[in-house]
Chain A
Amino acid sequence: MSHLVLDKVSVHYDGQPAVERVSIDVAKGDFVVLVGRSGCGKTSLLNVAAGLVEPARGVATIGGSPITGPGPDRAVVFQNDALFPWLTARENVAFALRLRGVPLAERARRADELLRLVKLDGVGDKRIWELSGGMRQRVGLARALAAEPEFLLLDEPLGALDALTRERMQTTLLDLWTAAQVGVLMVTHGIEEALVLATSIVVLAPGPGHVVRTFETGFSRRYAAGEPIRSIKADPAFAAARGELTDAIFEGEAA
């Protein structure tokens, strides 16, 4: 099984250490969430995995071979959707297929399939600016999935959405994760979001960024097994986990 591995990775910006010796292992089928206060290097680590930032020390590998640059095996979704406004929603989703020279009819069919998967059937012909923030982020996810990646790298994909939209997008993310059978590495600020989505949570602390604790959680697997999200959130174990995670994030910081 394919693994996305960061092995004792350090990231420096202008000689200043931003991340120091962090190791993360994402197997296909895992949902690993990075949380931590601002400046803990979450996004830097994600960019290393994406191949957009080169580690100063340590290695990043996928399936055993070193990551040398961005590639469609690790599609990235950013906080600001980064969609292409000159294309329709369908054409945005089909972008990766177009790069590979897939014929027009085939990529339209595949794009519509993916739009249905993110519950956006019927908006294929809409322009990007006609869509709401949540819809745009769904298009972004569908576009990433079109590349048929082994891993999805999500950089605060729900960060710019309002609270209600975000809740609904969380279950969408879980549905996609189950349906597409990918490994996910995600960065978020949301504590509850991390608990809902993750199979394991890596808590980072700044100065320079390092791992404080790693949690193995099972709430997302319970959702995947068919339990409704509300009943999961109502579980006392969920509240307990939230308390524990919050403590870990703010550890060593005056209350």
Chain B
Amino acid sequence: MSVTSYNERPTVKAGETDAISVPWSRPRPKRSWISSRAVSAVTILVVLAAWALSARLQLVSPVFLPSPAAVWTKFIVVARDGFVDATLLQHIVASLGRVFAALVAAIVIGVPVGLAIGISTIGRGIFDPLLEFLRPIPPLAYLPLVIIWFGIGEPSKILVIAIAMLAPVALSTASGVRGVSKERIDAARSLGATQRQVVRHVILPSALPSILTGLRIALGAGWSTLVAAELVAATRGLGFMIQSAAQFLVTDVVVMGILVIATIAFVLEFIIRRIERQLVPWAGRE
């Protein structure tokens, strides 16, 4: 075939190519001159400005909505002098301590449970219904029962958070385990790996990216359970701080507490993503 025979095909004018909707001729999306990050930054600034403006114009009473400046001042004051007998740092440490203790508990229980669900039919039969039962219950619903059973001490608070974290950890582990390629397991077995070695050296590391995703979700779930966990008989903690402040209508502390909780959640998410990149650099590259 000669090159000129290409001319026999109907030629498409430059402008008409857009009309053909085969994927390879689709026009490339125009290079955007704004990034979504910039849009996000502007959005946040607008929200802050609206907040400041409505506070300045006294559209609502400061009891309902204190000004950003007032919240910031409160942040400094609480950080330095404290609120309800503890500084902000002490509240944060108390809350973080509970969440991390719960995370450890959720890993210690959730990862083996997830392995059992993913590996064995019996394990799946036992744990799947239990997790499916536990998963949708809001923490505030089981909080009273936990208190009746375990009292109002620290263990109850950690338990409430841990229960919220358990399902994401276990279910992510299980889905990671089920996703391990059969060839990889067969290859290990043909190299002489015992059942136990396959779990330890092939299944666990293969499921690690999924387990870490589970931890990230669990951390979010645990952090959002915090206020509920600190409802009863706490003397420290961000959730406790907010509730005490609410009882005395110290709205600026409430707002400040909410912002601190949000910020810490954001930082935790960031840190765990960094850990993911360090620990499982192969994820998504296979």
Question: Which residues of A are interface residues toward B (Cβ below 8 A)?
Answer: 50-52, 69-72, 74-78, 80, 82, 84-86, 95-96, 98-100, 127-129, 140, 143-144, 146-147, 153
Contacts and interface: CB of A to CB of B under 8 A. Distances in A.
A96 B189 contact: no
Given A80-B181, A84-B201, 4 more contacts: A76-B186, A82-B183, A86-B280, A129-B282
A70 B186 contact: yes
Contact of A72 (B190, B206, B208): B190
A86 B189 contact: no
A95 B188 contact: yes
Interface of B: 181, 183-184, 186-194, 197, 201-202, 205-206, 208, 280-282, 285-286
A71 B192 contact: yes
Contact of B282 (A99, A128, A144): A128
22 contacts: A52-B190, A69-B189, A72-B192, A75-B190, A75-B191, A78-B187, A80-B183, A84-B201, A84-B205, A85-B286, A95-B188, A95-B191, A96-B191, A99-B191, A99-B192, A99-B194, A127-B281, A129-B286, A144-B190, A144-B191, A146-B191, A147-B191
A71 B192 CA distance: 5
Nearest to A98: B201
Contacts of A100: 192
A50 B282 contact: no
B190 A99 contact: no
Nearest to A74: B190
Given A50-B186, A76-B187, A127-B281, A84 B202 contact: yes
A84 B184 contact: yes
Contacts of A72: 190-192
Give the dominant DSSP class at B's interface.
Answer: helix
Max chain B Cβ within 10 angstroms of own Cβ: one of A70, A98, A129, A143: A70
Give the dominant DSSP class at A's interface.
Answer: mixed
A229 B201 CA distance: 40
Given A95-B201, A99-B197, A129-B282, A82 B191 contact: no
B205 to A, nearest CB: 5
Contacts of B184: 82, 84
A70 B190 contact: yes
A233 B257 CA distance: 78
Given A86-B280, A99-B201, A100-B192, A52 B186 contact: yes
A82 B197 contact: no
A129 to B, nearest CB: 4
A142 to B, nearest CB: 12
Contacts of B202: 84
B201 A82 contact: no
Contact of B186 (A82, A99, A143, A146): A82
A96 B208 CA distance: 21
Contacts of B197: 99
A66 to B, nearest CB: 17
Nearest to B198: A99
A70 B189 contact: yes
A78 B183 contact: yes
A143 B193 CA distance: 13
Contacts of B201: 84, 95, 98-99
Given A86-B208, A96-B191, A143-B191, A127 B186 contact: no
B268 to A, nearest CB: 24
Max chain A Cβ within 10 angstroms of own Cβ: one of B181, B192, B202, B206: B192
Nearest to B186: A52
A143 B190 CA distance: 11
